[in-house]
Homo-oligomer: A and B are copies of this chain.
Amino acid sequence: MRNRQVILVSRPTGIPQADCFAISDADMPVPGEGEILVRNHYLSVEPAMRGWIVDVGNYSAPVGIGEVMRSLASGVVEASNHPDYKPGDHVAGWFGWQDYAAVSIDKIVQRTTMAEMTQVLGILGINGITAYLGLTTVGQPKPGETVVVSTAAGSVGSAVGQIARILGCRTVGIAGGAEKAASCVADFGYDAGIDYRNEDVSARIAEACPNGVDIYFDNTSGPISDAVLPHLALRGRVVICGTASISRWDQWPTGPRVERHLLIKRARMEGFVIFDHMHHLDEAVAQLREWIAQGKLNFHEDIADGIEACSDSIAGVYRGENKGKRLIRLI
């Protein structure tokens, strides 16, 4: 038995392309004392991975060259040297882009079930809890407020829009292309969907948000944000969750200054990183699971097969190819 691994072989200067990675064929890992051996069923692909593999400042240390690509994954325990886990247990955690991982149990994020093996990486995992906790802790939505979301049909954005709606807000989604903008309304209940590729975002925001934007959940930065910010309502909140529209940070991008908007509107912009909030994981997952059971929270998954799909998968997300949470199925 061998262990196929996706190795980081070079650091990208912009969006990481397939040639940043190589598939390696390694020996089967052996769990050490207190460790477990997990066979991965699904690997997660995140836009944020871009930040994990560059060596400019980020919220975590970068993956080293020659190391297995860091990722969340879900799988089944095959062997265990820890009393709390036994073979056959389903777990999700930081197992990396590989078939098998021998890890200490602090790499486990949560237990799961065969039925939720994909959801635990998306709507019941990092994406859903980012949406829920980012919106509620930084955004602090109140019923009747207007919430605008960028990458509104994506795995985080679509959850933000639906949760805001559940909490009584009017929701406006911004997405790339007519199909995704239509999906915002049809699949995720947004009051309006804006196609930033083919529409005048500022004009459409003005039309869709006659009382201004109380919360802007920003996954993009860039020209989309520049079009939204002048429409902030008094005491508006901007949740900075991602910067998907910025292709590289080694040449720091410029844009219209934000200070005057924040001053005039007494508005607030604040960065949100889910890893600060993992102590609220269980309550967030329970709430999300309840909304899914009630039919209030829809989600899309876009599953590719085989570890070979990993290398180009981050670039694919930035090309907007995926229709929902991008996962790689191994078995």
Q: Which residue of B lies closest to A275 (CB)?
A: B266
Interface set, chain A 41-99, CB cutoff 8 A to B: 57-59
Cβ of A276 < 8 Å from any Cβ of B? yes
Q: How many angstroms from the CA of A240 to the CA of B258 in the assembled complex? A: 10
Whether the Cβ atoms of A270 and B267 lie closer than 8 Å is yes
Specify how many copies of this chain sit in the oligomer.
2
**Surface stretch bound by B, among A173-181, A193-201, A245-253:** A245-253
Whether the Cβ atoms of B276 and A266 lie closer than 8 Å is yes
Whether the Cβ atoms of A263 and B249 lie closer than 8 Å is no
Cβ of A323 < 8 Å from any Cβ of B? no
For A, the interface residue count at a CB cutoff of 8 angstroms equals: 36
Q: How many angstroms from the CA of A68 to the CA of B69 in the assembled complex? A: 66
Q: How many angstroms from the CA of A55 to the CA of B254 in the assembled complex? A: 26
Cβ of A202 < 8 Å from any Cβ of B? no
Choose among A258, A261, A267, A271 the residue with the greatest number of B CB atoms under 10 Å from its CB. Answer: A271
Tell me which residues across on chain B come within 8 A of A269, comparing CB atoms: 258-259, 262, 268-270
Tell me which residues across on chain B come within 8 A of A273, comparing CB atoms: 263, 266
Tell me which residues across on chain B come within 8 A of A221, comparing CB atoms: 257, 259-260
Choose among A242, A257, A272 the residue with the greatest number of B CB atoms under 10 Å from its CB. Answer: A257
Whether the Cβ atoms of B257 and A240 lie closer than 8 Å is no
Interface set, chain A 250-294, CB cutoff 8 A to B: 252-273, 276
Q: Which residue of B lies closest to A57 (CB)?
A: B264
Q: How many angstroms from the CA of A31 to the CA of B297 in the assembled complex? A: 63
Q: Which residue of B lies closest to A252 (CB)?
A: B256
Whether the Cβ atoms of A252 and B262 lie closer than 8 Å is no
Whether the Cβ atoms of A263 and B243 lie closer than 8 Å is yes
Cβ of A146 < 8 Å from any Cβ of B? no
Tell me which residues across on chain B come within 8 A of A249, comparing CB atoms: 260
Cβ of A225 < 8 Å from any Cβ of B? yes
Q: How many angstroms from the CA of A240 to the CA of B59 in the assembled complex? A: 24
Q: How many angstroms from the CA of A218 to the CA of B260 in the assembled complex? A: 11
Given A268-B269, A268-B271: 11 more A-B contacts, CB < 8 Å: A57-B264, A59-B264, A240-B262, A249-B260, A252-B257, A253-B257, A262-B269, A262-B270, A266-B276, A267-B271, A269-B269
Q: Which 10 A-B pairs have the closest CB atoms?
A: A262-B271, A263-B271, A268-B270, A221-B259, A266-B271, A240-B262, A269-B269, A254-B254, A255-B257, A240-B263
Sample of 6 A–B contacts (CB below 8 Å): A243-B260, A246-B257, A249-B260, A252-B256, A258-B269, A265-B271
